[in-house]
């Protein structure tokens, strides 16, 4: 399996994980003064939506990327607030939708698009996947720990 295929397989894991935790109480916080499961899923969903719209879809359509410098703290807070307007089922549906759109788009990319530097060298598909697989795994570990404590 080449690196692209391996990374895409790892990036798919979030979809399976969100489906596995469907029956869990999503209002439980991972720790005092930390996010709930619902907040975490909304947070990852909005990052997926942002990167799909600002980078992946433009690359797919050979149009300029619209990535901008983001205040991560504000973006994350906005994601939590956005999540409060959605039910668990809506978040699951949107999570699967956006992650699949990203996966299908990247799967269709020729190898040169996978490694090419975009936005003046500030973005590559390869680094994006590596960073967000780590990000997904970080939150999966948090939720898994919460599940273990709840047992």
In the chain, domain spans:
3-146
Q: Does domain 3-146 have CATH number 1.20.120.450?
A: yes
Per-residue pLDDT of 60-70, as tens digits, reads: 999 999 998 89
All residue ranges of the chain with pLDDT < 70 are none
Check residue 120 and give its pLDDT. 81
Check residue 34 and give its pLDDT. 94
Check residue 140 and give its pLDDT. 97
Global pTM?
0.95
Check residue 69 and give its pLDDT. 87
Check residue 136 and give its pLDDT. 98
Check residue 84 and give its pLDDT. 97
Per-residue pLDDT of 88-119, as tens digits, reads: 999 999 999 999 999 999 999 988 898 899 98
3-state SS, the chain, equals CCHHHHHHHHHHHHHHHHHHCCCCCCCCECCCCCCEHHHHHHHHHHHHHHHHHHHHHHHHCCCCCCCCCCCHHHHHHHHHHHHCCCCHHHHHHHHHHHHHHHHHHHHHCCHHHHHCCECCCCECHHHHHHHHHHHHHHHHHHHHHHHHHHC
């Amino acid at each position: 399996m080449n690196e692209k295929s391996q990374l895409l397989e790892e990036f798919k894991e979030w979809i399976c994980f969100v489906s596995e935790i469907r029956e869990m109480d999503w209002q439980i916080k991972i720790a005092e003064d930390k996010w709930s499961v619902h907040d975490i899923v909304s947070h990852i969903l909005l990052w997926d939506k942002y990167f799909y719209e600002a980078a992946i879809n433009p690359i797919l359509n050979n149009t300029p990327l619209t990535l901008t410098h983001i205040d991560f703290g504000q973006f994350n807070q906005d994601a939590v607030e956005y999540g409060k307007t959605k039910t668990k089922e809506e978040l699951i549906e949107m999570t699967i939708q956006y992650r699949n759109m990203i996966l299908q788009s990247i799967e269709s990319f020729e190898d040169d698009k996978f490694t090419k530097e975009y936005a003046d060298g500030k973005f590559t598909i390869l680094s994006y996947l590596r960073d967000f697989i780590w990000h997904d795994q970080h939150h999966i570990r948090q939720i898994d720990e919460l599940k273990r404590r709840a047992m």
